[in-house]
Amino acid sequence: MLNTLAAGPSGGIEDAIVPIIIVGCVLLLLFFIIIILVKQYKRCPSNRILVVYGRVGGKRASKCLHGGGTFVVPLIQDFAYLSLEPIVIDIPLDGALSLNNIRVNVPSTFTVGVATDPVLMNNAAERLLMLTTQQVRDQAQDIILGQLRLVIATLSIEEINKDREKFMGLINENVANEINKIGLELINVNIRDITDESGYITAIGKRAAAEAIERAKVEVAEQVRDGATGEAIAVREKTVNVARENAAAVEGQKQAEQRQRIAVAALEAEAVTGEAESQRNQEIAIAERRAETVAAQKRAEQDQRIKVADAEAKAVTGENTSRESIASSTAQLREIEAEANRRAQVAAANAREAALRAEREEELARLAKEVLAPQEIEKQKIEIAAEAEAERQRRIARGEAEATLAKYEAEAEGVRKVLEAKAEGYRQLMEAAADNPQIAPTLLLIEQLPELVREQVKAISNLKIDKITVWDNGRAGSQVEGKAGAKGATADFLSGLIGSLPPVHELAEQAGIDLPGALGKVSKSTPNHASSRPKAEPTEKPEA
């Protein structure tokens, strides 16, 4: 029983320990697996490329990662890093042969680095993995040096020196294509300097400097010309404005004086105004011609200086070109000198032409001043004199017309007043004879008897009268001077008045006038008054 008791507890302990050991082993295995997993999981920094090589699947030799991470299988795969830091490569290129067979020195600095493109990363993993930075620099330097010589051989000195954009484009294209083959990319290119053994580039620089200096001189000359032209224009405008204002002031003064003396000196004022106007036009024309002459001279001098400077620049260019190429310098120099001489001759001819044109303008101005201006002044004087004479005639005619009109108006006014006075007298006469209306016509007729007699006398003034019969106041007998009892002509007024009525009626009948009834009527049956009265002694009219 004791043995049984002893064996029983021992077997139970062993049964309990075995599972614990198994669990511990499993945990330990899991721990080691976790450690291995953690250790074999590789992360890629941003400035590196993780290259996993070994069995990576497919036909690839490696797997490249930029950023992130991957698990590296122990014993089957391994890893390495490629740095992305830029690599600066100095290229001391000397004696590179250009397209025109001139050797140039192009020291430059290239900055390259490992590319992050998937294809280029594989190229870098295949060709640059495990290489040091210096080894990568040496390999890239050889490639860049060869491509740089190739690019320079396709360009001339002028293209390399002037068209830098084209030069850099060819470098970037050729160099980038070649270094991409080893997994590198071109980051930057810096051409420090370009020189040549013959001094051609230096000569080009001197020529460019000379051209810049000449252009600056030309621009300065143009500015001086513009300034002189502007000053001349300002002076001309000042002279013209001063002359215009002076002429306007003189004209205003003369007009004021003309208004003051218009009644007595109209012709003189107009002559003075015309003279002032012609003088002002003459001064303006002279100022304009002088300004145009000065401007033409300045333009001619400017053109001459520009042409001479251009010829000198071309000559200097020919001399510099002659040093560059000995074989072709003589012919080019002769051509340039011939072209310069031709241009100089053309410039001289242009200058002479401008001078002759200026002389022509000056001669035209002189002729206009000496010939045309006096003729124009004389013409204006004649026109002014003709206008003054016409104005004088108009004023005389206007005065005569006004005088005639005033005369007739005065006469009409006098006649009107006379008629008004007569009408007033007739009215008063009619009012006075209101009781006997026949008295008024009789009185009026008596008033007009002298005028009627005067008209009758005019009617018979040209008649030839052989004899005249005289009635002595109607008396039948003749008067005998010296006899007693004889009556005179005024002895009996009433008897004489009645005796004169028959001749009055006869005269009225001859004149076709009806006498008023107060003067009586002559009966047709009554014998002629001449027969009833003693005949007058005929009196012979003495012969003239």
In sequence order, the β-bridge partners of residue 186 are 112
Does the pTM exceed 0.75? no
Structure tokens at 512: 């076709």
CA count, 13 A, side-chain hemisphere, 26: 6
Q: Please, what is the Cα angle at 311 between 310 and 314, to 5 degrees?
A: 85
Which residues have CB under 8 Å from 193's CB, separation 6+?
105, 106, 107
Q: Given 3-state DSSP classes, what are the helix, strand and coil percentages for the chain, each rounded to the nearest 5?
A: 70, 10, 20
**H or E stretch covering 188:** strand 184-191
Alpha-carbon distance values, 414 to 406, 408, 410, 418, 420 (Å): 12, 10, 6, 6, 10
Rounded CA-CA distance 109/191 in Å is 7
- Residue 82, Cα to own-chain centre: how many angstroms? 73
Please state which CATH number belongs to domain 80-197: 3.30.479.30
Dist CA 413 CA 410 (whole Å): 5
Tell me the sheet residues that pair with 89: 110
Nearest CA to 82 among 37, 59, 116, 32? 116
Q: What integer pLDDT is reported at residue 265 of this predicted model? A: 55
- Amino acid letter at 418? V
Give the per-residue pLDDT at 12: 60
Which phi and psi (to 5°) does residue 50 adopt?
A: -85, 125
Confidence (pLDDT) at 518: 64
Give the pLDDT of residue 529. 44
Cα of first residue to Cα of last residue in the chain, in angstroms, is 240
Instruction: For residue 270, give the nearest of 379, 188, 388, 369 by alpha carbon.
Output: 388
- Which residues lie below 8 Å from residue 286, measured CB to CB, with a gap of 6+? 365, 369
The 10 Å CB-count burial string (b at 16+, else e) for 125-149 is beebbeeeeeebbebbbebbbebbe
Q: What is the CB-side half-sphere exposure of residue 119 using CA atoms within 13 A?
A: 4
Q: Give, as one character, the DSSP assignment of residue 355.
A: H
Helix H segments across 264-372? 266-324, 326-367
Distance CA 466, CA 543 (A): 9
Q: Chain centroid to CA 294: how far?
A: 24
Euclidean distance between CA atoms 387 and 319, whole angstroms: 77
CB atoms within 10 A of CB 182: 20
> What's the CA gap between 137 and 87, in Å, rounded?
7
> Which pLDDT score, from 0 to 100, does residue 185 have?
92
Alpha carbon 433 to its chain's center: 95
Q: How far is CA 74 from the centre of its chain?
A: 91
pLDDT value of position 476? 45
The pLDDT tens digits along the chain (544 residues) read 334 444 444 556 667 788 888 888 888 888 888 887 777 788 888 888 989 888 877 777 888 888 888 888 888 888 888 988 999 999 988 888 888 888 888 899 999 999 989 889 889 988 888 889 899 999 999 999 999 999 989 988 888 877 888 888 898 899 999 999 999 999 999 988 888 877 777 777 777 778 888 888 888 888 888 888 888 888 888 888 888 888 788 877 877 777 777 766 556 656 667 777 778 787 887 877 787 778 777 877 887 788 777 777 776 776 666 566 665 666 766 788 788 888 888 888 888 888 888 888 888 888 877 887 788 888 888 988 888 888 888 889 888 888 888 888 888 888 888 888 888 887 887 777 777 777 777 777 777 778 877 877 777 776 666 655 555 544 444 444 444 444 555 556 656 666 667 777 777 777 667 776 666 676 655 444 444 444 444 444 443 3
* DSSP 8-state code for residue 517: G
Among 105, 173, 166, 115, which Cα is nearest to 144's? 173
Amino acid at 42: K
